[in-house]
Amino acid sequence: MASIKHIFNELHYEMTRKIAEGGMGLVYEAQQLGAGNFRKVVAVKLIREEYSAIEEFQNNFIGEARLVADLIHTNIVQTYHLGQVGGQYFMVMEFVRGINLEQFLEQHRKLNRPVPVDLAAFIISRVARGLAYAHMKCDREGRHLNIVHRDIGPKNIMLAYEGDVKLTDFGIAKALDLMYNEEGKVIAGKDEYLSPEQASYAITDARADLFPLGIVLTELLLGKNLFRSLDRAQSRRNILTMPIPKFGTLRADIDVGLENIIQRALLRDRDRRYQSAYDMLTDLELYLYSDRYGPTNEKLGVYLKDLFGVRDPVVPSLSTRPPI
């Protein structure tokens, strides 16, 4: 950490703390420094040193940065800059003051309380909104990029304490002129959050992101991923063959409207599944807002701060606000 701090100080980034790490990468909170005592909190993502000299990992990292550079949307974590120092590539990204959806789920398990149904649907609707934008994105020449995220899961969904929901980590996404993981030979994604296409080594399109989005919705509602097994191969088999339950029988306040959305998102036949994230977003918003005052970013923010004990003098606690 000391050497990293020294290197980035020379680039006018003051590394504050490590906030995430995976098998091949690290993410730090940092202060971007500028003239006139300018300071901006950012996230800095970099390849682990032992992988930084491997061309494949460099290409994947550069490809992710190029792909997300123009994905500017309130429900997608923004990337500001791709740099290189001492042979090591790094990305400067939007810092989200909050938690990821896995931490959100874990806190509910710890407190032994269910995620409110409306709030679960709202979170997923915001992810669908970000996906709808990414799936429709064209390059500067007007060519459709055909982006498929391929790694939809709780770790890659961020919840800001202000209530914003943001999709992140396009590291294994595929797009026009960008696909370093060859479909048909390898499986990209986490076994318990795959689409049937991914689990069976088939070529994917944007609809492959909607099945795992349905999985995440059911995990929010039930507190567990029904497809997960200790055996990775069994998780994939569950994705392909496990009978899909009626979720209203597993949680009484899942009504027929939400049940229909879940069942359509989890159709294994992608020609019968939602055909676009926009279609799924539309159904979720009709469910949330057609006959009542539904959740908002602000209400989600109040809920998060109350859930995690974050004190904000400008936001009253849930006890002083109407229920979500």
Q: Among positive and negative, which fits the CA dihedral 202, 72, 20, 229? A: negative
- pLDDT grade for 10, boundaries at 50, 70 and 90: low
DSSP label of 192? G
Catalytic residue selected from 70, 118, 151, 283: 151
Q: Residue 53's pLDDT is what? A: 80
Does residue 157 surpass a pLDDT of 50? yes
Residues 105 and 199 occupy one common structural domain: yes
My answer on whether 118 and 76 are in the same domain is no
Domain containing 9 — which CATH number?
A: 3.30.200.20
Q: What type of residue sits at position 276?
A: S
pLDDT, average across residues 135-155: 93
Does residue 112 register a pLDDT over 70? yes
The predicted-structure confidence for 201-232, as pLDDT tens digits, reads as follows 998 999 999 999 999 999 999 999 999 999 99
Average confidence score pLDDT of the chain: 89
- List C-alpha distances in Å: 111 to 107, 108, 308: 6, 5, 10
State the pLDDT at residue 324: 37
225 and 117: one domain? yes
- Strands of the sheet containing 13-21, edge to edge, are 13-21, 25-34, 38-47, 88-94, 79-85
Are residues 119 and 31 part of one domain?
no
| pLDDT value of position 317 | 40
Percent of the chain at pLDDT above 70?
A: 89
Whether the per-residue pLDDT at 292 is higher than 60: the answer is yes
pLDDT number for residue 5: 62
- The pLDDT value recorded for residue 315 is 45
Say if residues 65 and 79 touch (Cβ distance below 8 Å).
yes
Residue 9 lies in a domain: yes
- If you average pLDDT over each of 16-25, 31-40, 264-273, which comes out highest? 264-273
* 257 inside domain: yes
pLDDT tens per residue across span 39-56: 999 999 988 877 878 888
Do 79 and 193 share a domain, yes or no?
no
- What is the domain extent for residue 119? 98-304
One domain for residues 153 and 281? yes
- Is the same domain home to 273 and 170? yes
Distances in whole angstroms, Cα of residue 124 to Cα of each of 85, 121, 155, 288: 37, 5, 14, 11
Same domain? 147 vs 276: yes
Domain boundary among 55, 72, 94: 94
pLDDT in tens, 297-313: 999 999 999 999 998 65
Within this chain, do residues 85 and 109 fall inside the same structural domain, yes or no?
no
At residue 321, the pLDDT reads 40
Inside any domain, residue 235: yes
Model confidence pLDDT, tens digit, residues 166-183: 999 888 788 876 655 566
Q: 119 with 76, same domain?
A: no
Query: Residues 171, 273: one domain?
Result: yes
- Given 94, 109, 140, the domain boundary residue is 94
Residue 44 lies in a domain: yes
Q: Respond yes or no: is residue 151 known to be catalytic.
A: yes
What pLDDT was estimated at residue 6? 58
Q: Is 123 helix (H, G, I), strand (E, B) or coil?
A: helix
Check which CATH number belongs to the domain holding 109 and give it.
1.10.510.10
Whether residue 136 is contained in a domain is answered as yes
pLDDT of 322: 38
* Domain tally, the chain: 2
Q: Tell me whether residue 321 is in a domain.
A: no
Count of beta carbons in the 10 Å neighbourhood of residue 153: 22
Greater confidence, 198 or 8?
A: 198
Query: How would you label 210-235 residue by residue, b for 16+ Cβ within 10 Å and e otherwise?
Result: bbbbbbbbbbbbbbebbbbeeeeeeb
Both 266 and 122 in one domain: the answer is: yes
Nearest alpha carbon to residue 270 among 214, 208, 217, 227: 208
Provide the greatest CA pair distance for the chain.
61
Q: Mean per-residue pLDDT for 3-12?
A: 64
